[in-house]
Structure 1
Amino acid sequence: MTAHTPTHPRPKKKSRRGKFLIITVLVLGVLLVAADFALAAAGEYQIAQRMREKLQLNEDPSVRINGFPFMLQAVRGDYKHVRIDANGVPIRNEQQGLDLRDLDISADLRHTRVELADLLAGNVSKATIDQVDGSIKIKALDLNRLANQVTPFDKLSIEPDNRLATPTPAAGATTTAPKTTAAIKLSGQTNVAGKVVTLTAYGQIALASGAIQITVDDIELEDASLKQIIPQLRQALAIKIDPGTLPFGATPTAVEVESGAFILRGVITDVPLVQR
């Protein structure tokens, strides 16, 4: 007797249709995601144009509309989080002797409300923002430039003074009020009577009427024999910096120190996206 060779069943048409449907859904998904990103990019471009005018920038700032999908936010006319960043922004005020050339300006826009058609057309005269968290970062190079108006300094650096750092609050702890003072450590070199003096200064930076005031409490010199110049150095580093209002007219309410920079922060609510 010859053995019966089993025959394999032919692929069912339903299996082919299933694969076709999966491929179709994937292609449509990719197209929808691409369209979503394209619309978001168009919206970001229009906001960048308006922010360049509002913040009086020389170039378009970086604008990022966060949250996915963009289309869902667009349908609602409510963009939950828009991030704006502009780097290397100069501010000059000859009356105050202010010459800042490398500011970083940032703004987090919470719930920007504008219809999609108006946004894409660049018509944002009716657009409003529930809340803006704005900040300005003042870097060591600008501090060095301001300090040089009194006493020539070189390689002036900014660091937090962590000698008496407070412990990090435990998870779930109550949020404290914005800090209007912060401990600082300034390091650098200056020239006294033709001699290079290396110094480290400790003090604080305080927020006062929208400006920041540096106060130096203690100065350490590499050459201890030059202690007589400490009062002169302390006075030279007592610098006041007033960069003006924060983005969207927010009033500074907090100051921070990070490696290489001071940061002013503030919050303003219920503001128009552009001046009316």
Structure 2
Amino acid sequence: MRKLIIGLVCLACLAVVVDFGAAAYSEYRVSRTLRVGADLTADPEVTIHGFPFLIQSLRSRYDVDIEARGNRQDIPGEVALEATLHGVRLPLSDLIDGNLHNVPVEEVEGRFRVEPTELGRLFNIPDLQLHSRPADKSDGTGGSGGSGMTTTGALVLTGTLPTTPGTQFGGKNVSVQADLLLEGDQVKIIATGLYHPTTATEIAQNTVVPEADRPAVLARFTRTIDTIELPFGVRPTKVSAQGGQIVVEGKGVNATIDLDRLQQP
């Protein structure tokens, strides 16, 4: 009896190892195919959820998360690309072979994140910070860099304006209020006015801008981003600011996608 129990335990351990190995290899194949097909600079992170993996493969149905970094023509540097796929219908043989064209998916959620470094490059303000006023946090946490979602019109942008000929505020730290909007396929960050400091530290750090110079200052903090399309061709439906990032999201249902085309090269 003892030998039988030990044998069953060993068999169960072997089955788990084989299952994890099959899942890891499938994730690797999808990752490599994505990198080549979408012209990415590094292998994306691919996670196939659910255990045991081989039981899922018998149903040919998977839930998959993808995280990658990619270049966009309208944003300097790289942005974070993410996709969550529910109900991916794909035979195991195609998954392993990398045959990832015309794959039915019950639901696809796509998003990209413009992080603080890329935002600074976009505005040509390297130390740009994006945060929200405590009263406008939808989750009530308040403060900058929180995990909650920022409501439209609640943004505060702070940064040191670059020194350019004919300007008086080069090298000065300025804070402005801004609206964050999604209009069609465009994300608009529109500076609407100066942000009035409320703490002694903010007052000491910020520059008082004369009324006559305010339009030029606000223009420096105003930008439009053409979203074009989200991962797998999803259309954008929502934009928010989270943890100092701009996040654009969209969702599609009952779609057919090419799993090697996270973004068009």
Match of 2:202 in 1: none
Match of 1:45 in 2: 28
Does the residue aligned with 1:155 lie in a helix, a strand or coil? coil
AA matched with 1:50: T
Distance 2:118 2:152 in 1: 20
Match of 1:198 in 2: 173
2:58 to 71, 75, 82: 75
1:102 deviates by 2.1
2:95 pairs with 1:119? yes
**RMSD across aligned positions (CA):** 2.5
Spell out structure 1 runs of 4+ moving beyond 6 A: none
2:243 pairs with 1:271? no
Match of 1:139 in 2: 115
Distance 2:152 2:38 in 1: 27
Match of 1:34 in 2: 17
Does the residue aligned with 2:136 lie in a helix, a strand or coil? coil
- Residues 148-174 of structure 1: CA deviation (Å, up to 9, x unaligned): 2xxxx3410112333333457xxxxxx
Equivalent positions of 1:86-235 (< 5 A) are 86-87=68-69, 89-92=70-73, 98-148=74-124, 153-166=125-138, 181=152, 183-190=154-161, 191=163, 192-193=167-168, 196-220=171-195, 222-224=206-208, 226-235=210-219
In structure 2, the CA distance between the partners of 1:180 and 1:219, relative to structure 1 (3 Å rule), is closer
Equivalent positions of 1:219-258 (< 5 A) are 219-220=194-195, 222-224=206-208, 226-258=210-242
1:275 deviates by 7.5
Match of 1:64 in 2: 47
Distance 2:138 2:99 in 1: 48
Q: Which runs of 5+ in 2 are unaligned?
A: 141-149, 197-205
Larger RCO: Structure 1 or Structure 2 (Cα < 8 Å, ≥ 6 residues apart)? 2
Contact 1:105–1:137 (Cα < 8 Å) also in 2:
yes
Larger Rg: 1 or 2?
1
Does the residue aligned with 2:22 lie in a helix, a strand or coil? helix
Contact 2:138–2:151 (Cα < 8 Å) also in 1:
no
Please, what TM-score do these two structures have when normalized by structure 2?
Answer: 0.81
In structure 2, the CA distance between the partners of 1:77 and 1:202, relative to structure 1 (3 Å rule), is same
Match of 1:55 in 2: 38
2:84 pairs with 1:84? no
Please, what TM-score do these two structures have when normalized by structure 1?
Answer: 0.78
Q: Which runs of 5+ in 1 are unaligned?
A: 1-16, 93-97, 169-178
Contact 1:180–1:255 (Cα < 8 Å) also in 2:
no
Contact 1:158–1:185 (Cα < 8 Å) also in 2:
yes
Distance 1:115 1:268 in 2: 22
Match of 1:171 in 2: none
1:215 deviates by 1.2
1:265 deviates by 0.3
AA matched with 2:88: T
